[in-house]
Amino acid sequence: MLDNRYETIDNLTSLYSYLHTHKNMDLNLKDKVVVVTGGAKGIGRAIVLALAKEGAIPVIVGRKQADNNLVKAEVEELGGKAIAVEAELSKPEDCKQAIQKALDTFGRIDGLVNNAGQNDGVGLASGSYEGFVASLHKNLIHYYLMAHHALDALKASKGSIVNISSKTGETGQGNTSAYAASNGGRNALTREWAVELLPYSIRVNAIVVAECATPQYDSWIQTLDNPEETLKKITDRIPLENRMTTAEEIANTAVFLLSDKSSHTTGQLVYVDGGYVHLDRSLIKE
């Protein structure tokens, strides 16, 4: 929508100059400190780089500092600033320390992206108590702990939380009880936190991912007997353009939800999936 600054523009030359200068939407994220878990790989890395391009300061949290540092270097190549924090998020004490490192460095947190996790195949028949609980720690419990420890800082900044989730919490997948339960929990916590944090103007939303091209996904597909044939069957089921969602498409949505351009959006489960979950199955290629 044209804003009232166009009232001062009285010729096409001035209009062209204005549009050329303001061709990109400013998400007002410059110098905002955003913690991103699993920020060294796949979707997390894409979110870190998207934030850096908007002038935000990502806090890259991941289990291998060498990987974290590679993405930090990418941010710096873009002219941005970031810090890398090594943390094994299945350990509660590491969650607390990661948030404290961000606060010690910058004194504030403006956003949190809970993203780290792994579809680890802990099924009902094939799993165990120990495996199920360990998977919850890997995929769900640190979502709670990161938000819990960041909460005072987010209250001070009226920040935003984005939880990355998966279709398995809604559609099921088979042989992945713990991961499906974790994603159902991620979705439920998104709605619960959105309600609890209304008095503080903290918005909480989730992005639900279906079939997204990431290194982790590529590694999994290569473990199958006919990886290329299986991948084609999967992409044929994705209604929009019959292709995988890219990590950058997830990242662009995450950055928008973190920004004040989505200032009245909270408690939403946003499906960035090419229509995979909700569109008519008759659209699937034969």
Q: State whether the Cα torsion 243-34-73-79 is positive or negative.
A: positive
**Could you report the per-residue pLDDT of 190-223, keeping only the tens digit for each?**
999 999 999 999 999 999 999 998 877 788 788 8
CA 102 to chain CA centroid, Å, is 18
Residue 172 backbone zone (phi > 0: left; psi -120 to 50: alpha; other: beta): left
DSSP conformation letters of 250-284:
HHHHHHHHHSGGGTT--S-EEEESTTTTTS-GGGS
Asked if the model's pLDDT at residue 17 lies above 60, the reply is: no
**Among residues 179, 217, 271, 276, which one is catalytic?**
179
Asked if the model's pLDDT at residue 2 lies above 60, the reply is: no
Q: Distance between CA 57 and CA 108 in Å, rounded?
A: 11
CA angle 68, 70, 71 (to 5 degrees): 70
**Could you report the per-residue pLDDT of 3-14, keeping only the tens digit for each?**
444 444 445 445
- Give SS3 for 208: strand
Asked if the model's pLDDT at residue 76 lies above 50, the reply is: yes
DSSP-assigned beta bridge partners for residue 269: 206
Asked if the model's pLDDT at residue 24 lies above 70, the reply is: no
Domains, in order of start, for the chain? 26-212+246-273 (3.40.50.720)
Q: Residue 19: pLDDT band by 50, 70, 90 thresholds? A: very low
The answer to whether the beta carbons of residues 36 and 111 sit under 8 Å apart is: no
Asked if the model's pLDDT at residue 50 lies above 60, the reply is: yes
Phi, psi of 232, deg, nearest 5: -65, -40
Average pLDDT over residues 249-261: 98
183-207 as b/e, with b when 16 or more CB fall inside 10 Å? bbbbbebbbebbeebeeeebbbbbb
Element (H, E) at 72: helix 65-77
Average pLDDT over residues 170-180: 95
Q: Residue 1: pLDDT band by 50, 70, 90 thresholds? A: very low
Average pLDDT over residues 156-175: 96
pLDDT at 223: 81
31-51 as b/e, with b when 16 or more CB fall inside 10 Å? ebbbbbbbbbbbbbbbbbbbb
What residues contact residue 128 under an 8 Å CB cut-off, 6+ apart? 122
Catalytic, 179? Answer yes
DSSP-assigned beta bridge partners for residue 205: 162
Closest alpha carbon to 61 in 1, 5, 109, 10: 109
Residue-averaged pLDDT of the chain: 91
pLDDT at 284: 77
Alpha helices, DSSP H, located in 83-176: 92-106, 129-136, 142-157, 168-171
Asked if the model's pLDDT at residue 286 lies above 80, the reply is: no
Closest alpha carbon to 212 in 38, 26, 24, 25: 38
As a dihedral over the C-alpha atoms of residue 10, residue 14, residue 15, residue 19, rounded to 10 degrees, the angle is -150
